[in-house]
Amino acid sequence: MIMDKLYAKAKNKGPVCLGLDTDTTYMPKCITDLDVGVGEKIFRFNKEVIDATKDVVGCYKVQIAYYEALGMEGLKAYSDTMKYIKEADEISIGDVKRGDIAATAGMYAKGHFEGDFEADIITVNGYMGEDAISPFYPYITDKEKGLFVLLRTSNKSAVDLQDVEADGKKLYMHMGDLIEKWGASFVGENGFSSIGAVVGLTYPEEFSMLAKRYPNMFFLVPGYGAQGGTGKDFAAVLKESSCAVVNSSRGLITAHKNKTEDWDFSEQIRNATLRMKEDIVQWL
């Protein structure tokens, strides 16, 4: 089961999920000066980052929007990045947030669990119900793939929908119960289902409560740093269970800015990643 592998990597190397949400403005001069197309520049940047950090992170999350925005060159960079993560024997999360039903969801599953865009785990939107999740089930059982379903997101307006009460229970709590139900058949050796959830670190008390309520659920946690979440907030949950990875994207991959424009940029990103890891583990 893929969450067993992610659990092991996070426990052995640290719970940092490094986000390769690579914008062209993030790249140093040594990359932008290369005589290649923009897609190849992005891939070269990502490759340097992966090589510099793969021993200190649990996984990599690649947000597809940054690549789609660049057309075919960007999609090739996305594909090359996912393949390189696989070649490095690391875990990739395709942050694609797909959410549709029936045959369309099946094509999303095929598109992101096979072929050029293959990821180990993808993010999905389950607010259309199990019809939007069940087409991914065969890939969980046959190809050891996984899902992170949006549960409690970190954006400010999430409360407009997710805090609405129905039958005396907030909507995100009902979603949590559904994710737990959907994932019950896919629990691995370490007790975590291959269907996990996305919960923002901007709500640390709620994250702690959800981790206790759903002991078989592994979490992808955005919201560290720029959105207000701290290592102390995250470690409060990890003290109870190694049940999550916490993502930082821009905060890590722009760490070289105003420091270097040369090939040592990846050292700056590695150092920032180590500082984030230390910010978490110091509280454990």
Closest CA to 60 of 25, 23, 94: 94
97 part of the active site = yes
Q: What are phi and psi of 19, to 5 degrees?
A: -90, 120
Burial label for 35, CB within 10 Å (0-12, 13-18, 19+), is exposed
Cα separation, 252 vs 17, in Å, equals: 10
Residue 158: CA count within 13 A, CB half-sphere: 16
Cα separation, 218 vs 193, in Å, equals: 7
Pairing verdict, β 121-124 and 169-170: unpaired
Q: Helix-strand-coil percent breakdown of the chain, rounded to 5?
A: 50, 15, 30
Cα separation, 96 vs 259, in Å, equals: 32
The active-site residue out of 13, 83, 86, 97 is: 97
Cα separation, 15 vs 4, in Å, equals: 14
Closest CA to 218 of 240, 247, 248, 198: 198
Cross-strand partners of 60 = 18, 92
Q: Which residues are catalytic?
A: 97
